[in-house]
Structure 1
């Protein structure tokens, strides 16, 4: 409470530490357990972005094709 961190957040950190030890598993902070995990996260993001772009193009084609 002194640092403004909610009890639930601290509980999650404790649970993560018990499950994984010193290994960092937090994706959002940019800290990855390994270089492979970082690369996988990067590729997944790239795939999501590509799929989003494809969906936009499909919608544009359907609108322009009318």
Structure 2
């Protein structure tokens, strides 16, 4: 695509391709989408806590 920012249906994510936009994203945006162990417990999903403890320390590029 020609757009510097576009939604990728395969990745289910926004893709930023222009250098200046990438720099801005790294400085201003958050990728905090992984539930914390506390959030999982509140949702009744405490069995996933070990996985969440690993995931909150990772920066994944899919």
- TM-score, normalised via structure 2 length: 0.30
Which one has a larger percent helix, Structure 1 or Structure 2?
1
Q: In terms of Rg, which structure is larger?
A: 1
Higher RCO (Cα < 8 Å, 6 or more apart): 2
Which one has a larger percent strand, Structure 1 or Structure 2?
2
